[in-house]
Amino acid sequence: MTQAFTATPIGSIATPWRTIAECPRNGRQPDPAPVCRVQVFAPFVEGLNGLDGMSHLILIYWLEQAKSPRLTFTPPFDATPRGVFASRAPWRPNPIGLSVVRFDGFEGPDVLLVRFLDCLDGTPLLDIKPYLPTTDAEPDAIMGWLAPHATRNQNTGA
């Protein structure tokens, strides 16, 4: 049974990218990556308390310009059709984006400075979570069909 629900943006993301073609895949750009600004709306600013001293964050956002969902596709670097849930492709049933970003600090009380984002300018922000290497990193994780493409896939969007 599916049930519709609503999500409320808590902010807006400012990046240098205006089109999907310009946007980097999976957020990996050469260092130094451009600084992006995350504006948190006034009712949610109190929730930023305690972010000082963290080096990385997880940003969850809505890909409002994503293409229509596709459940299968053939990646540009692999000849076998794959399911969207076995990829990082943006054409998902719910266009939710997730990035682990480097947190460079605050620009005022309501703006976060971050690097390594992969979304368009004006993207609605849904949530912020601290990145915890003790919880969020799995050194023994296996990448399945993506393993042979690991270095290439960082820039392909799969």
Helix/strand/coil for 73: strand
Residue for token pair 């390594």: 116
What pLDDT score does 1 carry?
64
Count of CB atoms situated within 10 Å of the CB of 141: 7
Report the CATH fold assignment for 11-152: Elongation Factor Tu (Ef-tu); domain 3 (2.40.30)
Where are the chain's structural domains? 11-152
What pLDDT score does 154 carry?
46
Alpha-carbon distance of 158 to 154, in angstroms, equals: 8
Q: Give the model's confidence band at 144: pLDDT under 50 very low, under 70 low, under 90 confident, else very high.
A: confident
Write down the pTM of the prediction: 0.86
What pLDDT score does 2 carry?
76
Q: Give the model's confidence band at 25: pLDDT under 50 very low, under 70 low, under 90 confident, else very high.
A: confident
Q: Give the model's confidence band at 60: pLDDT under 50 very low, under 70 low, under 90 confident, else very high.
A: very high
Q: What are phi and psi of 84, to 5 degrees?
A: -60, -30
